[in-house]
Amino acid sequence: MSVAYLLPCPCGQSLRINVSQAGGVVTCDCGASVVVPRLRELRNLPEVESIEERPSAWGAAQGVLAIGAILAALLLAAAGWLNANEPPAPPQVDTAGYLKSVSVGVEGLSPAQSYDLWLQRYQPLASLGFVDDLQPQIDLAQQAIALHRTYRNVALIAAGLALAGGIVAGLMLRRSGVVKQVNHA
């Protein structure tokens, strides 16, 4: 960071000088020529941050970089959350276990309830077969997982882009700041 020093003029004003002017002569607004101390003595003068030139560009560059980094962190967090909270896996085709659970469920049911169960469960099974009955559920679960992973990947890519964009924009701003400073000198 560039630092400026305040060099007092006999007229009472303070002249803002920088390190590159050490050992030279500056002209005050009052017309007086003031000798600038050499570097070693310069450091004894009151210090001020040079706020007009490079630091402002630096600040903007750091700001853009910080925004990119924060955005990237948020997107990474979102991707992590998506990764940790995947939809349930598709149901397994477990014919024996399924039939057993249905049999247990049937016990203690009234004839009317058994008939309802027959209509809801066994008839589709009888007509479609067990796997075909489950297949729509499996498809839906797999689609949900695939969509979820797409969101996660998009979040990861966006995080990378945000970080890269922040770095590139920051570097460009910094470079423009350096050019501005050279023009000032």
Query: What DSSP assignment string belongs to 4-40?
Result: EEEEEPTTS-EEEEEGGGTTSEEE-TTS-EEEPPPHH
Residue 167 lies near Zn ion (rule: CB under 5 A):
no
Residue 9 lies near Zn ion (rule: CB under 5 A):
yes
> For residues 32 and 172, which CB has a smaller minimum distance to Zn ion in the complex?
32
Residue 30 lies near Zn ion (rule: CB under 5 A):
yes
> For residues 48 and 171, which CB has a smaller minimum distance to Zn ion in the complex?
48
> For residues 46 and 97, which CB has a smaller minimum distance to Zn ion in the complex?
46
Residue 39 lies near Zn ion (rule: CB under 5 A):
no
Q: Which of 32, 48, 128, 131 binds Zn ion (CB under 5 A)?
A: 32
The tokens for 107 are 């016990």
Q: Residue 68 class from Cβ within 10 Å (0-12 exposed, 13-18 middle, 19+ buried)?
A: buried
Residue 181 near residue 54, CB atoms below 8 Å: yes
In the three-class reduction of DSSP (H, G, I as helix; E, B as strand; rest coil), residue 138 is classed as helix
Residue 11 lies near Zn ion (rule: CB under 5 A):
yes
Residue 128 lies near Zn ion (rule: CB under 5 A):
no
